[in-house]
Amino acid sequence: MSTMSGARRSSGVLITGAGGEVGHGLIRALHEHGRTDIIAVDLREMDDEIKGMCAQTFVGDICDKALLARLLSMFEIERIFHLAALLSTRSEYAPERAHEVNVVGTLNLLQLAAEQARSHGGSVVFVYPSSIAAYGIGDPGTKAGAGAVVEDAYLEPTTMYGCNKLACEHLGRYYARHYRQLAQDRVEGLIDFRCLRYPGLISADTVPAGGTSDYGPEMVHAAARGEAYACFVREDSRIPFMTMGEAVEATLLLAGAEREKLTRCVYNVAGFSASAGELAAEVRRHFPDAQITYEVDQQRQAIIDSWPADMDCGSAARDWGFAPRFGMAEAFSEVLVPGVKKRYGV
Ligand code: AKB
């Protein structure tokens, strides 16, 4: 396929939100897998490590349709990892902006990807991280009884971020299966939408910002820095978590799965279910002097109470072989604690 100037477009894999936590991990993994055609986009200037692993990096807003159109005109994008998003807590302070970034930005990208796929006569694999935030469980008693929930239950999110994620799950499914369904010149299969709902993610390399599950990673990093940590949810607050490395592995596994084996667009993935108190006990096993207290933020607590204690990942296991790699103890001993000790030189 050639550009307007007649030059042949180079192929590429596009990553939005490239400078974020998942973006860092994903770009490292793709680079290690030998990808040399990574096109990275982020609102902020990316660090030199990221730049060194990408074919090209762009600083810009995914709400800037002209930027997206330019990117898709410059490269023949066959795979998109659309990671750019405002997370749950930050989105509550600017819900309309969150909708613009999380939903309109995603819609723009879906539309342009479909147009590009149509122009090069192919299909674009569109990989989209949704979230446990897509769930909304009405009260702690129902949460306790629900246990590990399947993808199609309790879908009444109480946050703008959760509403955004659920909306984008439906948009992705629409573009994949029903896009322009009444048009005479309709072309089917332009978008191959693949979505995984992440639980709380804990990375040893980066600290999150603006998430409601952040107490998990914050607790680990504070202990490694030798700093006291005041957890903003109750000790008994329970949601599923997984290490960032597992989330990246799962994302790449889904992205590379045979399309015929995928029976749905949206899949749960998770590593281990843990209460804040269990996380704190695991932290203290490795950092005995860790000072962890509880100063509950009732509003953020209510969000965590609306998210399930665990997610049923059976569909992902059956369709594309997902399997959690670590329980909580192994996640800490094999990945998180060695990682934060190296990061902080302890
Ligand atoms: C958040 O807390 O908002 C995110 C998420 C669970 O999607 N980490």
Ligand 1: nearest atom to the Cα of 131: 7
Mean pLDDT by 10 residues, the chain (346 residues): 56 94 94 95 94 96 90 90 95 96 96 90 96 96 97 98 98 97 95 98 91 97 98 98 97 97 98 98 98 98 98 98 97 98 96
Same fold, 12-200+244-268 and 202-241+271-309+326-344: no
What pLDDT is stored for residue 1 in this prediction?
Answer: 41
pLDDT value of position 208: 84
Residue at 312: amino acid letter: D
Q: Is 128 a catalytic residue?
A: no
Q: What is the pTM of this model?
A: 0.95
Residue nearest to atom 6 of ligand 1 (CA): 200
Cα 346 from chain centre: 29
d(CA 175, CA 60): 24
* The listed CATH number (3.10.180.10, 2.120.10.30, 3.40.50.1220, 3.40.50.720) that belongs to domain 12-200+244-268: 3.40.50.720
Cβ contacts of residue 261 below 8 Å, gap of 6+? 319, 320
pLDDT value at position 3? 47
Which among 154, 161, 175, 229 is annotated as catalytic? 161
The protein residue whose alpha carbon is closest to atom 7 in ligand 1 is 131
Task: Please report the atom of ligand 1 found closest to the CA of residue 159.
Answer: 3
**Which residue from 139, 140, 200, 133 is spatially nearest to 169, judged by alpha carbons?**
133
First-residue to last-residue Cα distance in the chain? 52
200 Cα nearest atom in ligand 1: 6
pLDDT of the residue at 134? 98
Phi, psi values for residue 270, rounded to 5°: -160, 160
Instruction: Assess if CATH 3.40.50 describes domain 202-241+271-309+326-344.
Output: no
Going from the Cα of 10 to the center of ligand 1, the distance in angstroms, rounded, reads: 34
Rounded to the nearest angstrom, the distance between the alpha carbon of 88 and the centre of ligand 1 is 6
**What pLDDT is stored for residue 209 in this prediction?**
83
- How many angstroms is it from 161 CA to the middle of ligand 1? 9
In the chain, domain spans: 12-200+244-268, 202-241+271-309+326-344
* Residues with a CB atom less than 6 Å from ligand 1: 87-88, 131-133, 161, 198, 200-201, 211-213
Gap from CA of 29 to ligand 1 centroid (Å): 21
Sheet holding 272-275, edge to edge: 200-202, 238-243, 272-275
- DSSP for 155-216, written as a single string: ---SSHHHHHHHHHHHHHHHHHHTTTTT-TT--S-SEEEEEEEE-EEE-SS----S-SSTHH
Ligand 1 atom at minimal distance to the Cα of residue 129? 7
